[in-house]
Structure 1
Amino acid sequence: MTIYQNSLPFNENNPPSQDGTYRDKLIQILAQDLNFHSQHSGYASHNFHSFPAKFPPQLPRTFIEALTHPGDIVLDPMMGSGTTILEAWLAGRRGIGADIDPLALLLSKVKVTPLDVQTVIRTGNTIVENATSAVRENHLALSETLKKQWDAKTRTFIDYWFAPETQIELTALRLEIEKIDDPAVKSFFQIIFSTIIITKSGGVSLAFDLAHTRPHRAKVVLSKEGAVLIGQELRDNPSPRIRFLTKTLRSPITEFKKRFQQNVRSLPETAQGKIPPATFSGNAQWLALADHSADLIVTSPPYASNAIDYMRAHKFSLAWMGLDIDKLGAKRREYIGGEFLNHFEFEKLPEASAAVVADIRDCDEKKARVLHRYYSEMTRTLREMFRVLRPGKAAIVVVGSSVMRGRDTRTQHCLADIGRAIGFEVPGIGVRSLDRNKRMMPVSANGDKTSQIQQRMHEEYVIGFYKTE
């Protein structure tokens, strides 16, 4: 574990802290081993759904337990899969989370909503039984429903990524889920429905690597019985890559049943002793929260330049939930770290951060503008975090550094620099190593593994921002 403490080549003239005990505790935590590689992270409802670039739940829990008291407000303004919100809820704090991603909002709410287990089991069994019966007995009616389900562009997307027989079973499941009257129970099963689509292997779609947001379509597709449905000519002369991109269809109903039985075992059954969290649709740059209202912030913003493209994966299940591809594309433009630059309002950056953008501009003007957009968005986000955080409290920001045109964007240093310009102290930046099979940034197979940039792709940075009294 490494900690940068008053040693960065940026503005280090922080004013003395007004709360030495709290500030010292923050520094001590940042200096701890924050890797958590050997610890189980799938407890409670953390394993409900795949989500790219999740930090381990032990990370927010460490700061929540050390820096807050029961009843305190813990905020995550970019909550993603709701890891911080769930940990706050489990610890008896009041979690508040915001996000603009529809799937993130649904998932975070489900993970902290207690349900009656027996009711969920009965409902799940009914869904499976009725969907199975519908596929067997009402195949034609399901096909007619499919024809009316989407606009032309969304229809093309569905046909490209989902085999016809898969579409029939997914339609049967979706129709059964829509019959559920209880909104909380319906949301629980919508998440299970999404889970069988968005997985590391691509779930029941024709995609691979959906959980890593860079899907590739299968080149060869086999039926459940082993018959070749797509790519017979490639199947006859398979190369190693073709073998890798060969997929055997799985029954959505069977996968749904498996996942339902798994998730129900982790279902929160009671809220006794826990404070109901609040989640809402909102942009972290403009939070609908009062000044000085949060006791702790723990969050992980996106990478710059859509390095992890959440919507690219999430639209696979959101389209099945009735959202059009065009509308999802428009929503994607709002995400922090995007590449859409028309009519964007850029912020003036501190000198050192501006120099990083200028370094990228030397080789790629557009990439530099994309990076400037990211640091502008993060300037507004950090400004909001400073506004809503109580004096004498901390904001923990977990980031990874991107690489543009072979150059490190130095995200952790730039965000620390921006935070200081806003008024934060930065007592330290912890460095945690990522498991190779869990990291999200690709490392070149032929690149120099000893280079600074390649090594940083295996690291994540935990920035400790402190708001003085």
Structure 2
Amino acid sequence: MTNLIQTLNQVNWDFSDYSSQRFPLDVNSMSWYPATFPPPIPKFLIALLTAPQNIVFDPFGGSGTTVIEAIKQNRPFLYNDLNPFVVDEVRNIVRVLRESSLRPYLLQTLKKQDEEYLSANVVKGFCKEEIYKGKSAEVIREKYPQKMLEKMKSLGVSEELILWYHIDTLNELLQLYELASSDQDIGMLSARKYAFVSILKEVCSQRGHFTYITDNCRPANLRYYNAFSAYLSILNRLTISVDDFLRQFVVSNGEANLVRLIDQSTICCGDARKMSWVDNQSVDLILTSPPYLCAQDYIKTMRLNNLFFPNEGFDKLPGQEIGSRANRKRKNGPEVVNKFYDDMRAFCGEAERVLKKNKFFCLIIGQGKAKAIEGHDTIGELSTMIIQDFGFQKIYETSRTIGYKWNRLGGVDHEKIIIFQKK
């Protein structure tokens, strides 16, 4: 244990040299999601706290950073998240890795096919204006030919999309949507859908902070962005990054079988407070970053995804999130905080149940600065609860500076890495 603590103390946990912009071909950098932690955090903790074939579990899995780093080190994984859209993205990228390991030229073939298809099927523009006024659905609808509105209805996408995208951008997106839905080959289907949802925010006319989309603040002006170009760029990045990932896996893990590793792992869309699908004392490491109280609304950030792939429960799901940002202005602060503690207590009880004895429970957690939680040390109070109520021993704690400006929502610019051990 002494050697472990010494090693942990030697790590600079800020990882200020890492950002998705500096490492654009890292698989972890492909798809956008708010408040993700840098891949070096799970990379180091998985290496230090587990052995090959140990099971790594992330109950608040988000964009799947822990999953990717577990696969890189030949560790089976369990992934859980309440957000159905991000779960779908993680399933797709893992399928792409699996299928690409079986068919090394899968993505190169797909990219060539899509480049040829899109160049031969250039979408005719409907609008001479590169920018036009948004906000008014009635005025915007006049720009749309009836056939395009009927096509949107037949595809099952929401007409609200006309308030977020320029008509010519949306026309291109609809063609990409059809392309992403046409192929029954699981590898190509997953890659196309992953690339498609990855560009929805990039080509949207709402150019403000992502919380403008979260809070349903539609753009005042609709500007044309080339969706075909954005899509092909993502496909190119995906092709290079997956090829690099597979080479690294072979070099690092020798004869390990990637397909077998993925097939013995599980991706689940579920509630971290109720994880009956995970067996008692079956997990070797829990490594997760739970919601920071009043800092994020994760499901609402997927508003654009929901307009293309409507989820019947989308409006109700945010109310099931733990510690959502929507509560940040509530005057009844004690109620907000107590509900957060109750939810986290339920989660920690599940964590204690599924973790093997003497194994580790790692939390990466920060504290927001919303009015509803003024005067509370939520990190310290949660740490005390985990020790007193569930019998864990805290073996390590350190603070790290968050270097990503887009992660500092709710005033969170520092967070703690805390490691507990189950006695």
Could you say which TM-score interval applies, normalised by the shorter chain?
A: 0.7 to 0.9
Distance 1:142 1:179 in 2: 19
Residue 289 and residue 436 in structure 1: after superposition, are their counterparts in 2 closer, same or farther (change >3 A)?
Answer: closer
Residue 440 and residue 382 in structure 1: after superposition, are their counterparts in 2 closer, same or farther (change >3 A)?
Answer: same
The answer to whether the Cα contact below 8 Å between 1:339 and 1:370 also exists between their aligned partners in 2 is no
Flag structure 1 segments of 5+ consecutive residues without an equivalent.
1-20, 222-247, 342-359, 444-456
Which residue does 1:206 correspond to in 2? Answer: 206
Amino acid paired to 1:285: R
| Residue aligned with 1:135, SS | coil
Task: Give 1:407's match in structure 2, choosing from 371, 374, 382.
Answer: 374
Residue 257 and residue 141 in structure 1: after superposition, are their counterparts in 2 closer, same or farther (change >3 A)?
Answer: farther
Superposed, 1:9-28 pairs within 5 Å as 21=1, 25-26=4-5, 28=7
Task: Give 1:184's match in structure 2, choosing from 163, 187, 193.
Answer: 187
Distance 2:107 2:404 in 1: 37
Which residue does 1:119 correspond to in 2? Answer: 106
The answer to whether the Cα contact below 8 Å between 1:117 and 1:264 also exists between their aligned partners in 2 is no
The answer to whether the Cα contact below 8 Å between 2:206 and 2:218 also exists between their aligned partners in 1 is yes
| Residue aligned with 1:264, SS | helix
Which residue does 2:15 correspond to in 1? Answer: 36
What's the offset of the Cα at 1:103?
A: 2.3
Task: Give 2:283's match in structure 1, choosing from 294, 301, 317.
Answer: 294
Indicate yes or no: 2:169 matched with 1:166.
Answer: yes
RMSD: 2.9
Residue 411 and residue 137 in structure 1: after superposition, are their counterparts in 2 closer, same or farther (change >3 A)?
Answer: closer
TM-score by length of 1: 0.73
Amino acid paired to 1:33: N
Q: What percentage of aligned pairs have identical amino acids?
A: 20
What's the offset of the Cα at 1:85?
A: 1.0
| Residue aligned with 2:361, SS | strand
What's the offset of the Cα at 1:129?
A: 4.2
What's the offset of the Cα at 1:128?
A: 4.6
The answer to whether the Cα contact below 8 Å between 2:288 and 2:364 also exists between their aligned partners in 1 is yes
Distance 1:93 1:217 in 2: 43
Task: Give 2:302's match in structure 1, choosing from 293, 314, 320.
Answer: 314
Deviation by residue 1:96-151 (Cα, 9 ceiling, x = unmatched) = 11112122212222333232353323333433544551624998755431143448
Which residue does 1:345 correspond to in 2? Answer: none
Which residue does 2:241 correspond to in 1? Answer: 266
Residue 26 and residue 419 in structure 1: after superposition, are their counterparts in 2 closer, same or farther (change >3 A)?
Answer: farther
Q: How many residues end up aligned between the 2 structures?
A: 379
Amino acid paired to 2:355: L
Deviation by residue 1:434-466 (Cα, 9 ceiling, x = unmatched) = 1152432255xxxxxxxxxxxxx3201111111
Distance 1:397 1:135 in 2: 48
Amino acid paired to 1:377: D
| Residue aligned with 1:208, SS | coil
What's the offset of the Cα at 1:40?
A: 5.9
Which residue does 1:383 correspond to in 2? Answer: 349
Amino acid paired to 2:8: I
Residue 141 and residue 180 in structure 1: after superposition, are their counterparts in 2 closer, same or farther (change >3 A)?
Answer: farther
Which residue does 1:430 correspond to in 2? Answer: 398
Indicate yes or no: 2:336 matched with 1:370.
Answer: yes
What's the offset of the Cα at 1:397?
A: 0.6
What's the offset of the Cα at 1:182?
A: 1.5
Moved more, 42-51 or 52-61: 42-51
Residue 172 and residue 395 in structure 1: after superposition, are their counterparts in 2 closer, same or farther (change >3 A)?
Answer: same
Indicate yes or no: 2:16 matched with 1:50.
Answer: no
Deviation by residue 1:28-78 (Cα, 9 ceiling, x = unmatched) = 526732111124663541111011111111101111111111111111111
Amino acid paired to 2:159: R
The answer to whether the Cα contact below 8 Å between 2:149 and 2:159 also exists between their aligned partners in 1 is no
Distance 2:174 2:381 in 1: 47
The answer to whether the Cα contact below 8 Å between 2:152 and 2:159 also exists between their aligned partners in 1 is no
| Residue aligned with 1:148, SS | helix
Moved more, 332-341 or 422-431: 332-341
Distance 1:174 1:214 in 2: 22
Amino acid paired to 1:109: R
Deviation by residue 1:339-374 (Cα, 9 ceiling, x = unmatched) = 799xxxxxxxxxxxxxxxxxx9xx965332222221
Residue 30 and residue 394 in structure 1: after superposition, are their counterparts in 2 closer, same or farther (change >3 A)?
Answer: farther
The answer to whether the Cα contact below 8 Å between 1:308 and 1:440 also exists between their aligned partners in 2 is no
Task: Give 1:333's match in structure 2, choosing from 309, 319, 324.
Answer: 319
| Residue aligned with 1:162, SS | coil
Q: Which one has a bigger Cα radius of gyration? A: 1
The answer to whether the Cα contact below 8 Å between 1:213 and 1:310 also exists between their aligned partners in 2 is no
Flag structure 2 segments of 5+ consecutive residues without an equivalent.
127-144, 251-255
Which residue does 1:92 correspond to in 2? Answer: 74
Amino acid paired to 1:335: E
| Residue aligned with 1:315, SS | helix
The answer to whether the Cα contact below 8 Å between 2:92 and 2:193 also exists between their aligned partners in 1 is no
TM-score by length of 2: 0.81
Distance 1:102 1:30 in 2: 37
Moved more, 295-304 or 399-408: 399-408
The answer to whether the Cα contact below 8 Å between 1:27 and 1:428 also exists between their aligned partners in 2 is no
Deviation by residue 1:371-422 (Cα, 9 ceiling, x = unmatched) = 2221111111111111111111111111110123272542211210120122
| Residue aligned with 1:333, SS | helix
Superposed, 1:109-258 pairs within 5 Å as 109-112=91-94, 113-114=97-98, 115=100, 116-131=103-118, 133=121, 135-136=123-124, 142-150=148-156, 154-156=158-160, 158-199=161-202, 203-210=203-210, 214=214, 216-221=217-222, 248-258=223-233
Amino acid paired to 1:323: P
